C-alpha cells in the first residue's frame, strides 16, 4: 500500500546527515531539488518535501530512529507534539508543523504569550504520566503555533536525569522576559547565551550566578 509520503523517499535517499564534534549541529551532504531543510539539530536534520508538504522528514546522523519512534508511540496522540506516521531505517515521517521557534521569536521580537509556558508545563505532565522523562526542552524545539506551544523534538525523553533546561527557561521568562518583550534581540547575544549555557557542566555555576554573568554582559553594552 502506497503512502502519501512515499513520493519523497527517492529524494531522501540522496541526502546524508553526519554528526559534528562538541555537540554542534549536524552537517548535511547531498542535494535533492524537491527537499527543503527546515531544521538542523545535534542529532538530525529535518526536511520538507515540495511534493508532500504535509510531512516533515527527520533524517538522523546516529541510530536514534527507533528510540524516538517508540517515544512517539508511547506519547500517543497529543496536541502538544508532532504526529509520527512512520519510522524507516534513517528517518521518521512526522506531521509538518507551522510556526516559528521561540528562538526565532526572540530574534524577531515576536511576543511569546504566557499560554506557551503553561502549555509546556501541561506537555511535561503528559510525558511524566506516560512514564517518560521530558528532557531537552529549549527555545529551538518549541514552536509558537496560533498562540500555543508545539514541541517538535522528543528524542531524549527515554533518557534518565533532569537537565533543568526548561526549569531555567521558565524562570528566565518569569523574571526577565518583560525586559525584551516585543524587541528584537541580536543574534550574537542569543547565540552567546546559548553557548555559555551549554558549556556549563554538572559542577558549574547555579542559574542565579549564570544570569548575573549574562546581565553583566548586557550592562557592558
Q: What is the pLDDT of residues 131-158, one digit of tens each?
A: 999 999 999 999 999 999 999 999 999 9
Tell me the H-state helices in 85-183: 102-108, 114-129, 165-180
Question: Which residues of the chain are in CATH 3.30.200 domains?
Answer: 4-95
Relative orientation angle of helices 165-180 and 207-220, to the nearest 10 degrees: 30
132 vs 126: CA distance, rounded Å:
9
Question: Which residues of the chain are in CATH 1.10.510 domains?
Answer: 100-220
Q: What is the pTM of this model?
A: 0.87
Domain 4-95 has CATH 3.30.60: no
pLDDT in tens, 109-136: 999 999 999 999 999 999 999 999 999 9
Q: Whose CA is closest to 134, among 187, 204, 81, 186?
A: 81
Q: Is 164 left (phi over 0), alpha (psi -120 to 50) or beta?
A: left
For residue 26, the model assigns a pLDDT of: 93
pLDDT in tens, 17-75: 999 887 788 999 999 999 999 999 889 999 999 999 999 999 999 888 999 999 999 99
Q: Is there a contact between 84 and 112 (Cβ–Cβ < 8 Å)?
A: no
pLDDT in tens, 162-219: 888 999 999 999 999 999 999 999 998 888 887 777 776 544 557 777 777 677 666 6
First vs last C-alpha separation in the chain:
60
What CATH number labels 100-220?
1.10.510
136 vs 53: CA distance, rounded Å:
27
For residue 1, the model assigns a pLDDT of: 60
Amino acid at each position: 500500500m502506497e503512502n502519501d509520503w512515499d513520493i519523497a523517499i527517492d529524494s531522501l535517499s540522496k541526502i546524508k546527515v553526519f554528526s559534528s564534534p562538541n555537540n554542534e549541529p549536524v552537517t548535511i551532504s547531498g542535494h535533492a531539488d524537491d527537499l527543503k531543510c527546515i531544521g538542523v539539530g545535534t542529532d538530525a536534520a529535518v526536511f520538507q518535501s515540495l511534493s508532500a508538504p504535509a510531512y516533515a522528514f527527520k533524517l538522523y546522523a546516529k541510530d536514534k530512529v527507533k528510540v524516538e519512534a517508540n517515544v512517539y508511540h508511547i506519547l500517543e496522540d497529543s496536541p502538544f507534539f508532532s504526529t509520527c506516521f512512520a519510522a524507516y531505517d534513517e528517518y521518521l515521517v512526522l506531521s509538518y508543523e507551522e510556526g516559528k521557534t521561540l528562538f526565532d521569536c526572540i530574534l524577531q521580537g515576536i511576543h511569546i504569550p504566557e499560554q506557551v509556558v503553561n502549555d509546556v508545563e501541561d506537555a511535561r505532565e503528559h510525558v511524566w504520566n506516560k512514564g517518560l522523562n521530558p528532557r531537552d526542552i529549549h527555545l529551538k524545539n518549541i514552536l509558537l503555533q496560533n498562540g500555543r506551544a508545539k514541541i517538535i523534538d522528543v528524542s531524549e525523553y527515554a533518557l534518565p536525569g533532569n537537565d533543568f533546561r526548561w526549569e531555567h527557561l521558565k524562570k528566565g521568562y518569569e523574571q526577565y522576559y518583560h525586559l525584551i518583550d516585543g524587541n528584537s534581540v541580536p543574534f550574537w547575544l542569543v547565540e552567546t547565551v546559548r553557548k555559555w549555557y551549554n558549556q556549563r557542566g554538572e559542577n558549574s555555576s547555579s542559574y542565579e550566578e549564570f544570569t548575573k554573568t549574562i546581565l553583566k554582559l548586557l550592562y557592558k553594552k
